[in-house]
């Protein structure tokens, strides 16, 4: 995930913040968990973190341009 230049700026503490205090959560059909959180340090952009079904392992994290709260 952190190899892509557009995702290299995502800080680990932002990911942890979204995991711990999501503003929205959705379970996908495959069991993966989507969580969103607003990141003030990035101009209030919304970070989507996708976790594996265990609820702890991060599969992917990116700024979700299409998310609306």
pLDDT (tens digit per residue) in 6-21: 777 899 999 999 999 9
CA 65-66-69 angle, to 5 degrees, is 105
- What mean pLDDT comes out for the span 64-68? 94
Kindly tell me if the per-residue pLDDT of 69 is higher than 90: no
- Kindly report each contact of residues 62-66 with a partner whose C-beta sits within 8 Å and lies 24 or more positions away, as own/partner: 62/1, 62/6, 62/7, 62/10, 63/10, 63/39, 64/36
User: Residue 58, SS3?
Assistant: strand
Element (H, E) at 19: helix 12-20
Which of residues 2 and 11 earns the better pLDDT score? Answer: 11
pTM of the model: 0.89
Mind listing the pLDDT tens digit for each residue in 18-53?
999 999 999 999 999 999 999 999 999 999 999 999
């Amino acid at each position: 995930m952190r190899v892509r230049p557009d995702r290299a700026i995502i800080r680990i503490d932002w990911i942890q913040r979204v995991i711990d205090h999501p503003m929205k959560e959705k379970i996908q059909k495959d069991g993966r968990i989507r969580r969103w959180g607003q990141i003030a340090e990035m101009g209030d952009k919304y970070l989507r973190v996708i976790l594996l079904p265990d609820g702890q392992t991060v599969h992917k994290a990116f700024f979700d341009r299409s998310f609306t709260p």
